Amino acid sequence: MQNPYAHYKQTAVQTASPEKLLIMLYDGAIKFGNQAQEALEQKDLEASNTYIGKMQDIIGELMVTLNMDYDISKNLFGLYEYINSRLITANIRKDPEPLLEVMGYLKELRGAFAQAAVLAKAQEGQVVNGAVNFEG
């Protein structure tokens, strides 16, 4: 029997909008980054390796879902490559500094995408089929 929480999370992912999925990926990467940092502080090298690996998996997912027809996607791809290289450095050296750097980027990107999603949703509500929606 599946854990009710796991079932809830699976349903949440399957029914989420693309914007929400993007935010969920950033949230996951940030969560694993916090766990990796805590593991490094406790000298739990196996756990830090696991959490950094999970962060790299998420960064890889972010990279493969980019639409490379847009310049912004090419820029994001380069940033994700850099983030991944810093995660490798943090993992090999067991150094929290590159991890902290990456966490700053992830938090900033998450905030920017969350704000963009809110603005897009607001604009979507104002324009329906090319007409202004006065009903809200």
Predicted confidence (pLDDT) per residue in 35-69, tens digit: 999 999 999 999 999 999 999 999 999 999 999 99
The pTM of the full predicted model, rounded to 2 decimals, is 0.82
Among 21-30, 35-44, 120-129, whose mean pLDDT is lowest?
Answer: 120-129
With b for 16 or more beta-carbon neighbours within 10 A and e for fewer, the 112-128 pattern comes to eebeebeeeeeeeeeee
pLDDT digits (tens, 9 = 90+) for 2-11: 787 665 556 6
CA triplet 67, 73, 76: central angle to 5 degrees? 135
What dotted CATH number matches 16-132? 1.20.120.340
Domains of the chain, residue spans: 16-132
State the Cα angle at 9 between 3 and 13, rounded to 5°.
Answer: 145
Please write the tens of the pLDDT for every residue from 88-102.
999 999 999 999 999
- Closest listed residue to residue 72, CA positions, set 21, 109, 115, 124: 109
What 50-57 contacts at long range (C-beta under 8 Å, 24+ apart), as own/partner pairs, is 52/87, 52/90, 52/91, 52/99, 53/91, 54/28, 54/29, 55/29, 55/87, 55/102, 56/84, 56/87, 56/88
The pLDDT, as a whole number, for residue 135 is 45
pLDDT at 10: 63
Q: Under a CB-based contact definition with an 8 Å cutoff, are residues 96 and 37 in contact?
A: yes
> Quick check: 80 and 59 in contact, CB under 8 A?
yes
pLDDT surpasses 90 at 127: no
